[in-house]
Amino acid sequence: MKLGKPVLRAKKGRVAYEVSVGTQEASRTLWYSVPSRFEHLIAATSDCALVALLVPAMARGEDLHVAGTVSEKLYYNLDTLQAILVEVMPLLREIRVHPEDVDSSGVRAEGVATGFSGGVDSFSALADHYYLEVLPTFKITHLLSNNVGSHERGGEALFRRRFERLLPLAERLGLPFVDVNSNLDEFYTMNHQQTHTTRNASVALLLGCGIGRFLYASTYRFRDAFVGPYHDSAASELVTLPLLSTERTECFSVGSQYSRVQKTLHVAELADARDFLDVCMMNAPGTNCSVCPKCKRTLFTLELAGKLDRFEKVFDLAAYKKARQRYIGRALFLENDPFSREIAEFAAEVKFKPPLSSRLFAEAVRARDWVRSLSGPSTRAF
């Protein structure tokens, strides 16, 4: 795979960072774009394109030939980074990267950015690095909204809708909110959840002339983080993010000292969260659906803490109350993922008494699964 030198082009009030990508089959263009007023943030190095397309190249088993300049720190870490990526995604193959030029003269910029989706992790990062007292060099100065694959259910229209919904909060805080559009997802065969760390880090490196520290809100607490095959790159990002850093931009994972329950309780104290919290995985326009797994998990945690009514503006509490009994049955009696374990621990801590209907639902599910297990694999002839 051959990557051309980055080219900046002005297009209808935006500036695009474009890189030609040549493979054995065809030549295409990778692009990112930001509003023209943020052009000064863009670094014209090849770091962004290299990080963006490293995983696709590894999936194809093709070496990367990179025109332009690559950070010495990033280039040095590529072998270790690839070894970790193969552990997480065993179908990948380690490749060689051949940069045209390697440079160590970059100077770290002063800006501090975090990706902001309005979720619990995002608000927790904002709480620790903006609302609360923090070292000036780690205080958030920019919010990022990245279209790098997380909006696959609604495409660019959903990306725009989510950005517009959160823009009033950025204006209330007085923080620049940089909407970064791209066609990066077109180069991936792996889903976003398994590859989001490198995708979003590529945006931080794109903005390396203005963003010197990128604070990536963690998903998992320290005890649940590991390097190994998994469906979510968040589990290993405590290790991978530092390896994605350059002389210009340092990448950090923040928030793993908290459980998701603890984060939710912290966020519940933020007045802004009561207006803008957005955890929904169903892309409900204007509000949270209140019945998808992420909505129910958040709402049940708030219920256990006695803070559910604080969020009536952004959730449909009536819809949640209709769906909560089955969710409680699954979270407390059936599921064993890290988030369910945390909620079960918190429920026990506050001496929550599950409804009888939740227990009966869990028993019914267990009985159904037991009956299915007795039938064994299908023997129907084809």
What average pLDDT does range 191-212 have in this prediction? 96
As a whole-number percent, the residues of the chain with pLDDT over 90 amount to 87
Whole-number pLDDT of residue 153:
59
For the stretch 303-329, pLDDT in tens is: 999 999 999 999 999 999 999 999 999
pLDDT attached to residue 149: 82
Helix (H) or strand (E) holding 144: strand 142-146
Cβ within 8 Å of residue 327, ≥6 positions away: 293, 296, 297, 300
Residue 99, token pair as written in the block: 């940069």
β-pair partners for 142: 113
Rounded to whole angstroms, the Cα distance separating 238 from 221 reads 10
- In the chain, the percentage of residues whose pLDDT exceeds 70 is 96
DSSP string, 309-363: GGGTTTS-HHHHHHHHHHHHHIIIII--SHHHHHHHHHHHHTT----HHHHHHHH
Residue the block writes with tokens 């980074």: 81
Q: Tell me: pLDDT of 98 over 50.
A: yes
Is the model's pLDDT at 372 over the cut of 50?
Answer: yes
Burial class (CB in 10 A: 0-12, 13-18, 19+), 62: middle
Output the pLDDT for position 379.
42
229-250 confidence digits (pLDDT tens): 999 999 999 999 999 999 999 9
Q: Is the pLDDT score of 202 beyond 60?
A: yes
Q: Which residues of 262-296 are buried (b: 16+ CB within 10 A; e: fewer)?
A: bbbbbbbebebbbebbbbbeeeeeeebbbbbebbb
* Predicted confidence (pLDDT) per residue in 21-70, tens digit: 998 777 899 999 999 999 999 999 999 999 999 999 999 999 999 999 99
The mean of the pLDDT values for the chain is 93
User: What pLDDT is stored for residue 190 in this prediction?
Assistant: 87
Strand ranges (DSSP E) for 183-275? Answer: 211-217, 250-254
Residue 286 has a pLDDT of 60
- More confident of the two residues 373 and 68: 68
The string of pLDDT tens digits covering residues 115-174 is 999 999 999 999 999 999 999 999 999 999 999 987 665 578 888 988 999 999 999 999
Predicted pLDDT at 380: 37
For residues 319 and 367, give the distance between their C-alpha atoms in angstroms, rounded to a whole number: 28
